[in-house]
Amino acid sequence: MVKLKADYVVCMDKNYTILENAEVIFDKEIKKIGKNLPKVDKEIYLGKNSVVMPALINTHTHLEFSSNKTLLEYGDFIGWLNSVIEHRETLFVECKGECFKKAIEEMKKSGVCAFGEISSTGDDLKYIKHSPLKVVYFNEIIGTTPGAVDMLYQDFQARLHESFEIEKRNEKFKVGISIHSPYSVHPILMEKVISIAREKNLPIQAHFMESKAERSWLDKGEGEFKLFFEKHFKNAKPLIKPLEFLEKFKNTHTTFIHCVYANDEELQKISELNASIAHCPVSNRLLNVGILNLERVKNFSIDYSVATDGMSSNYSLNLFKEIRAALLMHTDLHPKILAKDLLKSVTINAAKSLNLNNGSLEEGKDADIIAFKLPNKVKNLELLPLQIILHTNEVEKMYINGEEII
Amino acid sequence: MVKLKADYVVCMDKNYTILENAEVIFDKEIKKIGKNLPKVDKEIYLGKNSVVMPALINTHTHLEFSSNKTLLEYGDFIGWLNSVIEHRETLFVECKGECFKKAIEEMKKSGVCAFGEISSTGDDLKYIKHSPLKVVYFNEIIGTTPGAVDMLYQDFQARLHESFEIEKRNEKFKVGISIHSPYSVHPILMEKVISIAREKNLPIQAHFMESKAERSWLDKGEGEFKLFFEKHFKNAKPLIKPLEFLEKFKNTHTTFIHCVYANDEELQKISELNASIAHCPVSNRLLNVGILNLERVKNFSIDYSVATDGMSSNYSLNLFKEIRAALLMHTDLHPKILAKDLLKSVTINAAKSLNLNNGSLEEGKDADIIAFKLPNKVKNLELLPLQIILHTNEVEKMYINGEEII
Ligand SMILES: [Fe+2]
Ligand SMILES: [Fe+2]
């Protein structure tokens, strides 16, 4: 049993409880939170202005692209997509063990205990399986050519099988599946893969309505995507309507990524599906697709997580920096209220998205905990989330399943 | 004579010249820029993916407030202003030599060679005069009580005199004056102080239209400022109309700070005055006053600089981080084009604002130069400014007047 004492304990429970001069007792699980708790063997006071809170969770990354620094084209979605297609192989070849390690290390330093990894190829499995952080490994399916459906599905099943083998032996590793997007996966393939997820109760991720181009393409078969498809795939018709696409995720545990251009009907559907949204503000900005309207998302009672996306569309995987960017970027939202929501977005909401038993300090939750110090004391606790987001870049301590990782 | 060779030389001249594999020769001044220049005694190649560009200039800070970390209230302009008034003395007392040094050090590491300092008290002079960076020291005037005008003016003159004494002996130190704002300075005081600036050709800074509260107060004597003035000063009438205020700066060299709520007429006037605007996006965000419409500013042909403001309304004085924040926050502007403008905003535009002979690599300009490395090469030079802003936090080398400072 370990007892951490801190000046501020931010529980991230339903009541947004923040305790001053409080303690958390845990082994693999969190046992007790409060003041003046009974003595245990190992007691650590974290110092003046210290904060203890649940470790962060980065719901959506693509670590296979971690070698990108300045290669991909930013500023335009389709320009970016073309550059991804052009440089994909180069980037994949350049990202080997050291590159994955560094990417995971950057997340870890920023207090991330778990992340959702979209695996395009399965080649990342040999690195990801050694992650010191919890992983939900989303085997991705992509492909629209009808003739290739069987081949793609077989390949998918092989990757899925391999990842289940890892899951058996590694308690930090969970399997998920990913449907790349409504414009890039053949509906038959979608159905096959989603039904596996439904059967085996696997979490799903799918990119949805990331760009205006996607909107015009799916609605009307027009716009920049038309040129794109004609160039790459000689396939100039959208294969599914957005609402039909969403419909396919009935009775699953799904997170839709981006949703910047989702309309009211679609948000209503996402809400009915009890699905959540992953919001990647820096990625959206670099591809110049605008910014998700978080108030609208809230009005539809949809929970959102904030995630970094991959280095294919970001300059950092540091999740504290990502939520600081979000805090700055949503200039129409009240900083104090947004800050509270943003801490939720990378803890309790993110845990729900990835189907993990962490993200809050509550009895029975996994002991996934971070600690760090603020530069000074915060008198008005209403401002604590904001000050945490402004001043925290890296954590001093992290526990995962009660084990000291930092 | 020194010759710097770099993979990218970003001149920040009128044509936005970027040279690959080029060189800069300088002593105190820049002598030559180009390829395969004649040999000199000291030649330094800065390495793969290196960038040489003019050092940055932070036009607007309040270093007296550098001890603030988590004390001031964020999220609401008037709430913040009240907290500044409440904690002003505490913050000033806490900021002594070490605090100023640290603040300047943070700017310096981020490649800042010069900054505009608003001095409220004059107490900062004894620290600022030792700055390794160039300073334009804006003696600030503030006060609306008619009976106090003479006393305030005398105090101002004494501070001004002291700063002129420093200027005589320190080539990196220049004197300026600051009118705090249209709502906080008595018009008689304004006139007296502005006429000194006009006579002696001193640069001026004035906060203008930072908040909606300022807008309602100056337009109609209403809103939150009314309550504020009644509480603090028993003075419940605005003393000047915004356009009258701007009019007072005719034939001066003035920078208006913020201008978030400036209307078309006022922007037109600012343009006619040939004045510039200092844009402080993080400060504006933390006080929840919205964001300056940069397209509108551009349409009125007004140059803007981006500045950090003080630690009273920021978590950092790193100017590269500030322009990265700006790049992210202006979600309606094209990242590639905005990035180019933002580099201008902290170099050539900022030099013009502070009336300095630097901010670009051109023959005859002061040799104020920074160098740093990008994580990888950038093939499309159109994207270089964006990649510089995304990946640069600190510089490897800085020269000021040709002297190696880092
Ligand atoms: Fe993604
Ligand atoms: Fe200011």
For the purposes of burial, counting CB atoms within 10 Å of the CB of A15, is it exposed (0-12), middle (13-18) or buried (19 or more)?
exposed
In terms of CA atoms, which chain A residue is nearest residue B287? A335
The alpha carbon of B257 and the centre of ligand 2 are apart by a number of angstroms equal to 7
Tell me the shortest Cα–Cα distance from A58 to chain B, in angstroms.
20
Cα–Cα distance list, A399 to A4, A108, A200, A358, A384 (Å): 11, 11, 29, 12, 22
What's the half-sphere exposure (Cβ side, CA atoms, 13 Å) at A275? 29
Residue-by-residue DSSP string for A299-334:
HTT--EEE----GGG-S---HHHHHHHHHHH-TTS-
Task: Name the nearest CA neighbour of A137 among A161, A155, A154.
Answer: A161
Q: Rounded CA gap, B336 and B378, in Å?
A: 13
Pairing type for strands B397-400 and A42-45 reads unpaired
Residues of chain A with pLDDT under 50: none
**Chain B residues with CB-CB distance to A74 below 8 A:** 335-336, 383, 386
The answer to whether the Cβ–Cβ distance between A69 and B375 falls below 8 Å is yes
Of B290, B315, B327, the CB nearest to A331: B290
Cβ–Cβ below 8 Å for A376 and B70:
yes
Q: What is the CATH number of domain A2-55+359-404?
A: 2.30.40.10
**Span from the CA of A214 to the centroid of ligand 1 (angstroms):** 14
Q: Do B334 and A288 touch (CB under 8 A)?
A: yes
| Contact check, Cβ <8 Å, A374/B69 | yes
From chain B, the residues in CB contact with A73 under 8 A are 380, 383
In chain A, what are the domain boundaries?
2-55+359-404, 56-354
CATH tag for A56-354 (out of 3.20.20.140, 3.10.450.40, 3.30.420.40, 3.90.1150.10):
3.20.20.140
What pLDDT, on the 0 to 100 scale, is given for residue B8? 98
How confident is the model over B219-243, as pLDDT tens digits? 999 999 998 888 877 757 899 999 9
Give the residue on A whose Cα is nearest the Cα of B284.
Answer: A331
Of A73, A334, A380, the CB nearest to B288: A334
Q: Which residues of A touch B334 (CB under 8 A)?
A: 75, 288
The pTM for the full model equals 0.97
Question: CB B188: neighbour CB atoms within 10 A?
Answer: 13
Please list, in sequence order, all residues whose beta carbon lies within 8 angstroms of the beta carbon of residue A188, skipping any fewer than 6 positions away.
A146, A149
**B119/B133 Cα distance (integer angstroms):** 16
Residue B127's closest CA among B98, B167, B155? B98
Is residue B57 within 8 Å of residue B369, measured between CB atoms? no
The three-state secondary structure class of A167 is: helix
Burial class (CB in 10 A: 0-12, 13-18, 19+), B384: buried
Name the residue among B327, B335, B378 with its Cβ closest to that of A70. B378
> Which residues in chain B are contacts of A331 at CB distance < 8 A?
285, 290-291, 329
Which residues, at least 6 apart from B7, have a Cβ–Cβ distance to it below 8 Å? B20, B21, B46, B48, B49, B50, B51, B377
- Helix, strand, coil percentages (3-state) for chain A, rounded to 5, are 40, 25, 35
Which of A74, A75, A375 lies nearest to residue B70, judging by beta carbons? A375
Q: Which of B73, B325, B391 sits opposite A328 (nearest CB)?
A: B325
By percentage, how much of chain B surpasses pLDDT 70?
100
* Distance (Å) from CA B336 to ligand 2 centroid: 28
Q: Enumerate residues 6+ apart whose C-beta is below 8 A from B326.
A: B279, B281, B306, B338, B342, B345
Sequence-separated (6 or more) residues with CB below 8 Å from residue A322: A280, A281, A282, A306, A307, A308, A314, A316, A346
Beta bridge partners of A53: A370
Decide if A376 and B73 are in contact by the 8 Å CB cutoff.
Answer: no
Measure A139 CA to nearest chain B CA, in Å.
30
Ligand 2 midpoint to CA B151 (Å): 24
Instruction: For B111-172, give the DSSP string.
Output: TEEEEEEEESSSTTHHHHTT-SSEEEEEEEE-B--GGGHHHHHHHHHHHHHHHHHHHHH-TT
DSSP-derived pairing of the beta strands A369-373 and A304-306:
unpaired
Q: Which ligand is nearest to the CA of A257?
A: 1
- Could you give the CA distance from residue B292 to residue B277 in angstroms, rounded to a whole number? 10
At B13, the amino acid letter reads: D
Most B-contacting residue of A7, A48, A66, A69 (CB-CB within 10 A), to test interface: A69
DSSP string for B339-351: HHHHHHHTTHHHH
- Active-site position among A106, A140, A210, A322: A210
Q: What's the gap in Å between the CA of A265 and the closest CA on chain B?
A: 25
- Single-letter code of the amino acid located at B174: K
Chain B neighbors of A290, CB-CB under 8 A = 331-332
Catalytic residue IDs of B: 210
Instruction: Assess contact for B288 and B77: CB atoms under 8 A.
Output: yes
Contact B69 A376 (CB under 8 A): yes
Chain A interface, Cβ < 8 Å to B: 69-71, 73-75, 281-282, 285-286, 288, 290-291, 315, 325, 327-329, 331-332, 334-336, 374-380, 383, 386-387, 390-391
What pLDDT score does A232 carry?
Answer: 74
pLDDT at A267: 98
| CB neighbours of residue B93 within 10 Å | 10
Residues of chain A neighbouring B386 (CB-CB closer than 8 A): 74-75
d(CA A37, CA A177): 42
- The chain B residues in contact with chain A (CB within 8 A) are 69-71, 73-75, 281-282, 285-286, 288, 290-291, 315, 325, 327-329, 331-332, 334-336, 374-380, 383, 386-387, 390-391
Distance from B345 to chain A by nearest Cα, in Å? Answer: 19
Are B328 and A325 within 8 A, CB to CB? yes
Å from CA of A314 to ligand 1 middle: 11
Can you tell me which residue has the tokens 């954590």? Answer: A395
Closest partner CB to A75 (pick from B73, B332, B386): B386
**Arithmetic mean of pLDDT over chain B:** 97
Helix (H, G, I), strand (E, B) or coil at B307: coil
Distance from the alpha carbon of residue B196 to the mean position of ligand 2, in angstroms: 22
- Indicate the residue of B71, B315, B335 with minimum beta-carbon distance to A74: B335
Write out chain A residues lying below 8 Å of B75, CB-based: 334-336, 383, 386
User: Any idea what DSSP says for residue B185?
Assistant: B
Mean pLDDT, rounded, for B89-101? 93
CA of B308 relative to ligand 2 center, distance in Å: 9
- From the CA of A81, which ligand is nearest? 1
Question: Is-contact A368 A29, C-beta < 8 A?
Answer: no
CB pairs under 8 A between A and B: 89
Query: Quick one: average pLDDT of B266-291?
Result: 98
Amino acid sitting at position A304: Y
Inter-chain touch B378–A288, beta carbons under 8 Å? no
**Do the interacting molecules here have an ipTM over 0.85?**
yes
Measure A22 CA to nearest chain B CA, in Å.
20
Ligand 2 centre from A63 Cα, in Å? 41
Q: DSSP character for A378?
A: -
CA separation, residue B106 to residues B42, B65, B72, B103 (Å): 28, 14, 20, 5
Contacts of A385 in chain B (CB under 8 A): none
